[in-house]
Chains A and B, each alone.
Chain A
Amino acid sequence: MRFQSHPMLYVLLPLCVLAIGISFYRFMVVGNYVVTYEGECDPEAQACFLGYDADSQENYYYTKIHKYAQDVYAECGPDITDCTDASICLPEDESCTVTYCSPETILEGESCSSIEIAPEAADPVITSTSTEENLP
């Protein structure tokens, strides 16, 4: 088969194989992508997003976490359920964001848990949610 009569085959087939290989390496081997999920949140100490579990018919509280998949995998394995490290940013995390509920971060259809903080607390405005990056 000559290149001139089958240029699509000669160009696109190697590229397909290459794309499959790189994609497999990125997503399946190294986990080079961001994951976002709901982290644990204490409504008495933090401004949490308010969620509703239809199965248990109860409210629950959460923060929004952004982390690299490879960091989460190293800290918790494939399942983040009951993994406390998944809900906080660790120093070794390449990139990590924990988003608390606030008027700036809340989206349509979401709601916040509203709490009062003790006057001796370092940050008096804890009812307004803050976004912390690389928290210890």
Chain B
Amino acid sequence: MICPLYPEPLFFFYVPDLPGLLYYSYVPAIIIALLVGVSVLISGRKSLLNQLLFGICISFLVWTACTLIDWTNIHSDVLLFAWSFLGPAAGFISIFSIYFTYVFLEKKDVGIKVKAVFIALLLPLLILAPSEFTLSGFNLASCDAFGFEGPMNTAYFPLLGVLAMLWILVLLVRHYRRAERGFRSQLVLMGTGIELFLFSFFVTEFLGQYLATIGFLPDSQLELYGYFGMIVFMVYISILIVRFKAFHMSLIASQALVIALLVLIASQFAFVRGTTNIILNSIALLLTATIGLVLIRGVLIEIKQREHIELLAKDLEKSNKQQIILIHFITHQIKGYVTKSRNIFSMIMEGDYGKVPEAMTPLVQEGFNSDTKGVNTIQEILNAANIKSGKVTYAQAPYDLKELTEEIIRDLKPAADTKGLDFTFETAGDTFMVTGDRPQMQNALRNLIDNSIKYTPSGSVKVTLAKENGKLHFMIQDTGVGITAEDMAHLFTEGGHGKESQKVNVESTGFGLYIVKNIIEAHKGKVWAESEGAGKGSKFIVELPT
């Protein structure tokens, strides 16, 4: 049937008598949604997030195309056919928006139960789309079907829109609290964009028709403003693409997006009427073209720089991994050779091959000491490499820290006595029970005390163990070379040699304190150093939970 009071549209969609706002709101929204949707899908066909954004864009496209047909066409059969898909299209927009938000936030697909809920919510809209629950008839006089809409169109899909807005809001709030700072900006951008889109889409649609029905507004043109929400959403998505490289869009796709805006403004010449409007549109096109070109250049440089940095970071990571593998290989091999040599010296010294001539004894002793230092150095490098690659596991067993400290003190006392240092250990308490890996802790504390002895040419090294505020404090105070402010900054880092310390101990690997810090932190403790400067001694404090 043809609506007898209305003219046939030109080029299927264009009717000169219709409000210009209709085309201003629909055409840009359709073009932008199509461009962004297709660009995002092309740039990552296998990415679920990209597929869902494409789904939102296509559902929106179906909705706007059907609505445009309903505004312009005069054939009741075509009109009703298009009208019957407004509900399903709006339903898909709601469900895809929720699904998209889930995947954007969780970075993974939703479970089968959530998918079942999505299907259950969409099923009534699809099953009942061709039935009288959606549309029952048509008014040829007013050329619309407003008086014949069933509950699926008047209640179900608007409620689905409200449900989507609330659901997404809850998801956003829940994730914002636990999101990392960097991701929060993305979350706010995406969340604001999608909520604005859904709000403008569903609320202006509902308000436009409701206010026109009660006679508050002369017609339902208010709903036309709702489509600008899609443009806003797509702008937010574009910012995410360019600023955060979300959706993994390529450089070409980002440029195409900016060019699309220019095409869009140029296309407005097809609709503008009057000299003033044409001049204003020309100025807008010129300004956008200039700013757009500057923007493209800026984006080009930024993206190229970022890609270069990412490439360097990948190379560095690869190189680090290879370096660790190489260190392991070399140190294992060398440790084997040196250990074998050390054992030979040890056997010679113990007389396994007969009495060692007196003239040869200092030489054998020197060989043994040198190999022992070599084994310790290699072990230190190996330990640091293991810590860095996360290969170290820590046992959890109770032990007495006081007993452990006394054991280390006993071992190191000869070295301190040789240098003539006043080496003391003070403690107030019988036992200091802690839980952790005893051999690893022994390695860490021994390293700290050994360091103090090495870097104290004369004076004293004082070790204390005490309980303070429910925590154990292990402290070594010396009158050694001290630490400058510059050295203090990288004291516990890999290879963090101090300038003063290198003068005293040239054999230092620089990994000692790095290993200590990792072991203490693995025991949920803290370690730090204090010094008033070069030549003024230093203090190392370890704080451990009881």
Contacts and interface: CB of A to CB of B under 8 A. Distances in A.
B76 A15 contact: no
Nearest to A7: B115
A49 to B, nearest CB: 11
Contact of A36 (B78, B84, B135, B141): B141
A36 B138 contact: yes
Contact of A35 (B1, B119, B122, B123): B1
B60 to A, nearest CB: 16
A108 B371 CA distance: 108
Interface in A67-90: 69, 72-73, 78-81
A57 interface: no
Contact of A23 (B81, B115, B140, B148): B81
A78 B115 contact: no
Interface stretch (A25-33, A114-122, A125-133): A25-33
Contacts of A72: 1
Nearest to A73: B1
A66 B139 CA distance: 9
A36 B139 CA distance: 5
Contact of A78 (B2, B112, B116, B147): B2
A22 interface: yes
B477 to A, nearest CB: 63
Contact of B126 (A15, A34, A36): A15
A8 B51 CA distance: 13
B398 interface: no
Interface residues of A, number: 32
Q: In which size bucket is the chain B interface?
A: 20 to 34
A22 B130 contact: yes
A34 B119 contact: no
Contact of A27 (B80, B127, B141, B147): B80
A19 B131 CA distance: 10
B129 interface: yes
A72 B76 CA distance: 12
B99 to A, nearest CB: 8
A69 B126 contact: no
Contacts of A1: none
A16 B88 contact: yes
Contact of B78 (A25, A28, A69, A81): A28
Interface in A30-44: 31, 33-38
Interface in B45-98: 75-78, 80-81, 84-85, 88
A90 to B, nearest CB: 17
B137 interface: yes
A15 B129 CA distance: 10
B162 to A, nearest CB: 21
Contact of A34 (B122, B130, B136): B136
A80 B140 contact: yes
A4 B122 CA distance: 18
Nearest 9 A/B pairs, CB to CB: A34-B137, A37-B140, A23-B130, A22-B130, A27-B80, A15-B126, A19-B129, A27-B81, A23-B84
Given A23-B84, A33-B136, 9 more contacts: A7-B119, A8-B118, A16-B88, A22-B129, A23-B81, A27-B77, A33-B138, A72-B1, A79-B4
20 contacts: A7-B112, A7-B119, A8-B118, A8-B119, A15-B127, A19-B88, A20-B85, A27-B80, A27-B84, A31-B1, A33-B80, A33-B136, A34-B136, A35-B76, A35-B138, A38-B141, A69-B77, A69-B138, A73-B1, A78-B1
